[in-house]
Amino acid sequence: MSSLANIAIEVAGVEKAFRLPHEQRTTFKEYFLHPLRHTTFERQRALSGVTFAVEEGEFFGIIGPNGSGKSTLLKVLAGIYRQDAGTVRVNGVLSPFIELGVGFNPELTGRDNIRINATLLGLTRRQIRERFDEIVGFGGLERFIDQKLKNFSSGMQVRLAYSIAIQVDFDILMLDEVLAVGDQEFQERCFETLAAIREAGKTIVFVSHDLGAIRDHCDRAMLLLDGSIRAIGKPDDVLSRYDAIVHPVIGART
Ligand SMILES: Nc1ncnc2c1ncn2[C@@H]1O[C@H](COP(=O)(O)OP(=O)(O)OP(=O)(O)O)[C@@H](O)[C@H]1O
């Protein structure tokens, strides 16, 4: 393991569960028969004993089936959720890039949304002015920028959100399944920017169901299953493990 100075993210023994309410009374009759019966809660475990580290400058991929805990983990890293147990250490400025388009207002134009979203992400007025054309240009949104956001397709909204987010100064960029809705050409340009971000020594944590992208771009990958780490290492090895777990019968035949 590298010295701590080279570690961007260090996670040790992280646990996270959600409380899911169960309403016991569903009808008026039940309400009158059992007026004191309360809502009960079921604990939904989302992360269990999660321990790993990401080195500075790494392009680190996280994969796993739906509901395996990937987004919860990113939200714990970002401090949006507090873990129930364990420690999280983040060395450097984390991009607030967790769910694209947070703060977007569908009733406002693309132009106004850039101003608001970029302000929320920490850019000054002057930075927004200076970087405005680059944001619009990267998103290829020149023709749409004065239209209301509700008229943007979901792909266009993602283009806009991504274009703003990469203008924010950060050391660690977290992407949660955000490129999936972009078209092929936009995705390729995004991966070019990600390569440049990495060249600049910054760290990228990339959650995706696009296993090809994980294989092609990540230095290392991690497989989450039911909130636990099932594999971590070279993308090819982790993808094989994923395949063996998700398609065990096929895996057994090959
Ligand atoms: N806010 C929440 N309240 C209650 N349960 C939640 C909440 N967020 C996530 N969960 C539960 O935690 C588990 C992990 O969910 P999470 O969204 O982290 O999975 P994921 O791997 O990101 O899934 P996906 O690939 O579908 O995006 C799931 O069982 C989910 O139902």
Name which residue leads in pLDDT, 193 or 36.
193
Work out the burial of residue 138: count CB atoms within 10 Å of its CB; fewer than 13 is exposed, 13-18 middle, 19 or more buried.
buried
Q: For the CA atoms of 246, 247, 253, 254, what is the dihedral angle to 10 degrees? A: -70
**DSSP secondary structure letters along 52-63:** EEEETT-EEEEE
Mean pLDDT of all residues in the chain?
87
Q: Cα separations (Å) of 117 from 30, 147, 148, 156, 185?
A: 47, 16, 15, 15, 24
Residue 69 is which amino acid?
A: G
Break the chain down into helix, strand, coil percent, rounded to 5. Answer: 40, 25, 35
Cβ of 18 below 6 Å from ligand 1: yes
Q: With pLDDT > 90 as the criterion, what percentage of the chain qualifies?
A: 60
Angle between helices 154-165 and 110-120 (to 10 degrees): 40
Give the pLDDT score at 1: 46
Element (H, E) at 224: strand 220-225
Q: Is the pLDDT reported for residue 250 higher than 80?
A: no
Q: Which of 61-65, 94-98, 101-105: highest mean pLDDT?
A: 61-65
Q: How far is the CA of 185 from the centre of ligand 1 (A)?
A: 30
pTM for this entry = 0.85
Q: How far is the CA of 45 from the centre of ligand 1 (A)?
A: 9
Question: Mind listing the pLDDT tens digit for each residue in 109-145?
Answer: 999 999 998 888 888 999 999 999 999 999 899 999 9
Cβ of 67 below 6 Å from ligand 1: yes
Tokens, residue 84: 């129930």
Q: How far is the CA of 53 from the centre of ligand 1 (A)?
A: 22
Question: Is the Cα dihedral 68, 235, 95, 85 positive or negative?
Answer: positive
Name which residue leads in pLDDT, 103 or 230.
230
Q: What ipTM is given for this predicted complex?
A: 0.97
Distance CA 129, CA 206 (A): 29
Q: Is the pLDDT reported for residue 47 higher than 50?
A: yes
Cβ of 39 below 6 Å from ligand 1: no
Give the pLDDT score at 23: 65
